[in-house]
Structure 1
């Protein structure tokens, strides 16, 4: 049984459509769920026109129409217009549910059968080239830049730093209050200054790390990655079965083994690909400086030269 944490349904839909000359259109009435939404608007317009002329004596005369010595003339027109409009939307889930099951539950198996039948699947450990579909099994690490940014946020974590520094300062002050030894008091004052300085330095370091993470979010295609050895796969949020933060919390650097099926796209060299001629141009100094980020990212365990980039199709436990 496969327990999926990632499944690229868009890729599998494309595969099924190409293999079957279109997506399956069969449906069944075994299961049906309907949702009806109605919106009704009504408008009633009534027009009443009334005219009346009355004379108690004398003659009221309208040539060729009415002649009376005395009387009352009433003219009344009543016209009621009513407009009712109704819009009803009904969505049936029967066909959608069954087609979804047919595509998602079995599409990956069909794709794996297709790869094996045509000798297109390479198992990690064997020779592989960019463009190959590859199956990788092993221990994994999930890295999420957004989660790390929240953890290392200077504004959010500064309160904790100040609280810890304050607690240590209070301890030193209590010790100072119990002694008359000037040497001890001078040492305590020195330690107090060190704590204040360390607190400032830590905040500054956090701000620098936050800046690097912000830069990473701009230059990388995704904020979440999965690493198995030298293989690294960027994860699209819409194909994850659980949020990336939840995966980091549940697994992190897990001792469990996971299976990754994907396409080997390239071997990572550096973040900024430049020609030698570019380095000799007026912006060459900037380019050389940016290339130094490669070492930083490597030390953080994100990407390093020689890593194999995998476009993931399915990631699951067995």
Structure 2
């Protein structure tokens, strides 16, 4: 294994995509390991339950309490093992992709190719913008004795921001965006290792991020059939929302012509 020993603050990991890719690269090795773990856990559970058969009511209660405590401890230990195992899998994946020369540069990568990006970044969470309550900011400004004109302007500004968040949240629900030079990554909310408050600390960070992912498309290089749809060809209806999203993201400066659209497998600082 190559030197991947530097500390990684892993903030995002798509375990399904990572395991699938590793299974294909390593001919199912990871899947076999996981099945072995699952079988072992099942055996342990069976042994624990069978141990209480035929005991008195008091003994059964004690065994039940002991089993409950043991299961809680085992679950915690298993969670720790899973995290360590997944981190190890990520190192294996990076090594495999490098060894097999499967990582393309962002500039030259085509759809379906792997990329490894290391860059400064901008982070966008439209879900939290959609949840803004402009009236709360008005109340706060009144408490701090701001002028009526300033309060009015601020309320309008926050309302516009909220509307923008609602639009993008409806187009890309439960999705965060990370913009780097030449790419835009769309990250599934449930794959983050950070809570909502911690995620907000990413905004405005001057750190560099590393993203391992797959290029899904190139932005704004075609109209995804929208010209045909506009002329009445309903077979291109599937291109409406992607084209709309591209146009909206471009209009606010997040997406540029030729940017690679990335489905991340992992992201770390």
The interval holding the TM-score normalised by the smaller chain is: 0.5 to 0.7
CA deviation profile, 1:244-273 (whole Å, cap 9, x unmatched): 542332x32222222111111111229x85
Q: Distance in 1 between matches of 2:19 and 2:257?
A: 34
After TM superposition, give the deviation of residue 143 of structure 1 in Å.
1.1
CA spacing shift, 1:276–1:112, aligned 2, 3 Å: same
* SS of residue paired to 2:158: helix
CA spacing shift, 1:235–1:263, aligned 2, 3 Å: same
Note the residue ranges of structure 2 that are not aligned, 5 or more in a row. Answer: 1-5, 50-59
Q: Does 1:122 align with 2:128?
A: no
After TM superposition, give the deviation of residue 201 of structure 1 in Å.
4.8
CA spacing shift, 1:212–1:110, aligned 2, 3 Å: same
Q: Which residue of 1 aligns with 2:265?
A: 313
CA spacing shift, 1:23–1:274, aligned 2, 3 Å: same
Of 20, 23, 33, 2:28 maps to 20
Note the residue ranges of structure 1 that are not aligned, 5 or more in a row. Answer: 38-84, 169-194
CA deviation profile, 1:46-72 (whole Å, cap 9, x unmatched): xxxxxxxxxxxxxxxxxxxxxxxxxxx
After TM superposition, give the deviation of residue 4 of structure 1 in Å.
1.0
* SS of residue paired to 2:32: coil
Greater relative contact order, per chain length (Cα 8 Å cut-off, separation 6+)? 2
Q: Which residue of 2 aligns with 1:220?
A: 172
CA spacing shift, 1:154–1:17, aligned 2, 3 Å: same
Q: Which residue of 2 aligns with 1:247?
A: 199
Q: Does 1:265 align with 2:247?
A: no
* SS of residue paired to 1:242: coil
2:176–2:186: 8 Å Cα contact kept in structure 1?
yes
Q: Which residue of 2 aligns with 1:143?
A: 124
Two-structure CA RMSD over aligned residues (Å):
4.2
The structure with the larger Rg is: 1
1:234–1:312: 8 Å Cα contact kept in structure 2?
yes
Of 14, 18, 23, 1:8 maps to 14
Q: Does 1:111 align with 2:93?
A: yes
2:138–2:155: 8 Å Cα contact kept in structure 1?
yes
CA spacing shift, 1:15–1:253, aligned 2, 3 Å: same
Q: Does 1:206 align with 2:158?
A: yes
TM-score normalised by L of structure 2: 0.67
* SS of residue paired to 1:303: coil
After TM superposition, give the deviation of residue 167 of structure 1 in Å.
4.3
Q: More helix by proportion, 1 or 2?
A: 2
Q: More strand by proportion, 1 or 2?
A: 1
Q: Distance in 1 between matches of 2:141 and 2:247?
A: 28
CA spacing shift, 1:12–1:23, aligned 2, 3 Å: farther
2:219–2:246: 8 Å Cα contact kept in structure 1?
no
* SS of residue paired to 1:302: coil
